[in-house]
Structure formats: C-alpha cells, structure tokens
Chains A and B, each alone.
Chain A
Amino acid sequence: MLEVRELRAGYGPVEILRGVDLDVAKGEVVALLGANGAGKTTLNRTLSGLLRPRAGSIRFAGEPIGGLSAEAVLARGLVHVPEGRRIFANLTVRENLLLGAYRRGRARRRANLERVLALFPRLAERLGQPAGTLSGGEQQMLAIGRGLMAEPSLLVLDEPSLGLAPMIVRQVLELAAGLARDGLAVLLVEQNVVQALAVARRAYVLEQGRIAAAGPAAELLADDRLRRLYLGL
C-alpha cells in the first residue's frame, strides 16, 4: 500500500531524512520507533504532504504521491493524525469530526459520522461540547475519529499515546490493531516501544534519518543488541 524508497527530506540546510525505505501493507500495523529527533515526525509530515521530499519516492496504492499537496494526499486516502492531537479546541466535537470529512459530500459525511461515533461512543455523548474541554484520552480519540472521517486506507498515527495514562494508551493501541484487522493499513509512530511492538506486526527503527533496523515485531523485541541500542530496554 505504501512504498517509501530512498526518501530524503529536511528543513532549510538541515537534512533530517537521509534515505528512508519503508513499506506498509493493507491490514497491518507497522510500528515506527526511534528516539526524539530521529526523524519520525519529519517522515510523517513528508508522507502527508506537509513537507516536500528532496529526493526518493513515495508510492501509495501504486501511484507516486511525493510532492503532492496535503489535500491531494488526503484525497488519495493517506490520513495523518498529527502528534499532539491538534484538535480544533474552540470547535465542538461534532464540528471537529465533520471537518475531518471536509472534502466529502453531505451524505458521505453523515454516514462517516455514524460509523465513527459507533467506534467512539464517548464522543457521541460529547458532540456539542467544545473539543478543548475533553480529557486527553478523549481528545486522542477525537483526533483519530477526525482522521477516520476522511475514509483513510492508510492511517498514520503520530505518537498517539503521548501524555496519556497507561490504561488509555492500551485502549488507543488496541484500537489501532482493530482498525488494521478491519483492513486499514496503520503506521504507528511511538515512543512507547513495548506496547507498540505488542500490537504491530512489523517495525522499523529510525535513527538519525535512516532505518537502522527493521523486521517482524517479535524479532526486534527478542534481539538483545537492538533492545539495548535502539529500543532503550
């Protein structure tokens, strides 16, 4: 579904991604691990069209999408749920969700809203509330729900567990696994290594803008050298 080859990107004179190769297939959760500053967020921003790649290719559903606008990438079904949730705090929960399907027609919006609310009953109870009044966990659910409103085939979740209580983290990650079971491709960017690897099928470790290790999640967890060097375990 997603094929990234030799991807390079950065800001001004600083090159952050220095040749990244990565694949995500339909129906799998792929974890992207790495320390702060390794380039995880830069990779996500490049995938979703917020940042233009400098070299290399991004293919999504068989088509090149490198260099397309965020809007065009979204329209093709690659949806990025940004780090820090970035919900529209001054808008209601309902308005946040509807904006997720901003580019969709009225009927699709209504259908998507029903689908998303069935997945997150807590949000259904809070539709009229300003999103900023939700708890951290609910805000994360809202951010993911807003992403799902756009009918993604690949969901990029950037640090969804950030600042959440351990129990909520488990819920969020299980949700990601459930979405993959339903046929979505999920790229899960996490600092929460053990829990991310528990739900992921495969994982990549990003270090200084390159893929330092890759493989099935279970193998990465079992590799003592990797655990020590990259996973901080």
Chain B
Amino acid sequence: MVDPSIVAASALHGLATGAVYALVALGLSLVYGVLHIVNFAHGSLLMLALYGVYFLHERLGLDPYLALPVLLPVAGLAGYALHRWVIAPAGGARDENVLLVTLGLALVLENLALVAFRSDTRTIETAYSFSMVALGPALLPLPKLVALLGSLVATLVLWAIVQKTDLGRAIRAVAREREAARLVGIDTRHAFALAFAIGTASSAVAACLLLPSYYVSPQVGHGFVLIAFTIVVLGGMGSFWGAFWGGLLIGVVESLGGLFLGESLGQIGIFAIFIAVLLFRPTGLLGRPL
C-alpha cells in the first residue's frame, strides 16, 4: 500500500508536468488549427529554446525565469521569420509539402544542435533547484510549482490573445476562411506567420519554466512533441481547452503510472487512455464531431 501523501505528491508532480505539456501542446494545436499543418519542428524549436535558457544561465548567469523577457521576443521573431520566409515559401500551397518541410526542418535543427552542443544531457543548477514547498500533505519542488503556475498563467494569456484581441480574431478568421479574410483586409501571410510565432513563443515560455527541473539535449524535443501530438488528438484537434485538460490529464496519468508501474512503464497509461479515446470518442475529449 502506497502512502496517500506520496500519491498526492505524485499527482501534483504530474499536474505540474502536465501544465507544461499543455502549454507545448497549445502551441502545436494553434499552429495546426490555423495553418492546418502538423508542425514536426515544434519539438526542435522547444529544444533550441531550452538551449537558449541553458546558455543564458551558463554564460551570462541569467536566471531561467528572468530569461523569459529575452527569449520570448527572440522566439516570436524567429518563429515569424521561419514561417514567413522558410516554411511558407518552401511548402507552397500544399499541406503535404508543409508537413515535409517541418519534418525536414526538425531533422536539420536537431543535427545542427548535435554538432554545436554535442549529445550531452545538460542541466542547470539554481539556488532553488532543490527547494521544496509544502502543499497540504504533499511536498513539491519549487521549480515544479513555478512551472505549474507559470503554465497556467501562460495558458490564460494565450487564450486571451486568441479570443479577445484583434490579432486573435484575425487568426481565427484566417483559419476558417482565407479568402474572406483577405476581403476584410487581413494580410493572411502575416496572420499565418504570427500564429506560428505565437506557437513558437509558447514553447519558449515552456522552456523557461522547464529547465530548472529538467534537462536539455538535442533530442529532448522528441518526447515532448510525441506527447503534445497525443494531447492535441486526445483533447480534440484544434480545441483550446481540450488541449489544456488533455495536457493535465496526461501529466497526472504519466506520473501516477510511474509511481505504480515504475518509471519505464509510466507512459503506458497515456497510450491506454489515448487508444480508449480514439476507440470511443474519436473526435477527442472536447472536440466537436466532424
């Protein structure tokens, strides 16, 4: 019998990881929902952002959380430029091409990272890396708590941008009716690139929140992007809150799975749930029927 306080701590851990998963998945979901492309490079961009946080800390001594104001605009601009001047022109008008372009981009970025940073797994150490916070009966590392709260805030900001701003309205309009969007004066190429920029920027936020309790290596994006894809499908393609709740659920299931089945089998629960959803509710938890 496992002590309930350990179960509670494990669930909290999972919630914190899940909130970051949700943030990564939301970036992916936004890009999918607007551009109708599956962005395989999403994980690689997260990986680059993690290296950004790492080197800002190692070389300049910048705290990972304080790296956010530096990294956020850089990631946004990079995402914008990447879509506007690489992905869009190379992909042309065909969705399959775009898919291949993002896959190719993922391979190139990852291998460049291997050359530049080697395959070492790197972590950073901060004064608070091992600080614990007591939440009721459970202890949670401070970086995990920050990741949880930070991801929740970032999710709300993302939601507000998409739902409440002109930019968000324009992006949703472009997602639905490209030509009509042009007819109301929306520059569609700009809107597409901005959507991609927002997706990339949310990965940068995730990177800042992750690194104090995580690691970076050239392949670190794989696990995230696989889980993020799972979350997007699980929550319902293009559904904002679907991706959010899906992320939390996956995080908790993974954590509890690890507790009861051991680390190596921890992810089995994710895929069990995933298969069950696909069998019984193929549009995802919060997705609308097609």
Contact = CB atoms under 8 A, between A and B. Distances in A.
A118 interface: no
Given A88-B176, A89-B176, A99-B170, A48 B183 contact: yes
Contact of B176 (A48, A50, A90): A90
Interface residues of A, number: 24
B185 A80 contact: no
Given A91-B173, A95-B169, A102 B179 contact: no
27 contacts: A48-B183, A50-B182, A71-B182, A71-B187, A74-B183, A75-B185, A80-B183, A81-B183, A82-B180, A86-B180, A88-B177, A88-B181, A89-B176, A90-B172, A90-B175, A90-B176, A91-B173, A91-B176, A95-B172, A99-B169, A99-B170, A99-B184, A102-B170, A102-B184, A102-B185, A150-B184, A150-B185
Contact of B184 (A50, A90, A100): A100
Given A74-B184, A79-B183, A91-B172, 12 more contacts: A71-B186, A71-B187, A86-B179, A86-B180, A88-B172, A90-B172, A90-B175, A91-B169, A99-B170, A99-B173, A99-B186, A102-B186
Interface string B150-194: 000000000000000010011011011101111111110000000
Interface in A63-95: 70-71, 74-75, 79-82, 86-91, 95
A181 interface: no
- Chief secondary structure at chain B's binding surface: helix
B183 A88 contact: no
A150 B182 CA distance: 13
Contacts of B182: 50, 70-71
Contact of A50 (B172, B177, B179): B179
A8 interface: no
A48 B181 CA distance: 12
Interface residues of B, number: 17
Interface of A: 48, 50, 70-71, 74-75, 79-82, 86-91, 95, 98-100, 102-103, 146, 150
Contact of A71 (B166, B172, B173, B185): B185
Contacts of A71: 182, 185-187
Contacts of A74: 183-185
Nearest to B186: A102
A50 to B, nearest CB: 6
Contacts of A81: 183
B169 A82 contact: no
Given A90-B172, A91-B172, A103 B185 contact: yes
B34 to A, nearest CB: 11
Interface in B229-263: none
B243 to A, nearest CB: 16
A88 B185 contact: no
B20 to A, nearest CB: 28
Nearest to A49: B182
B183 A50 contact: yes
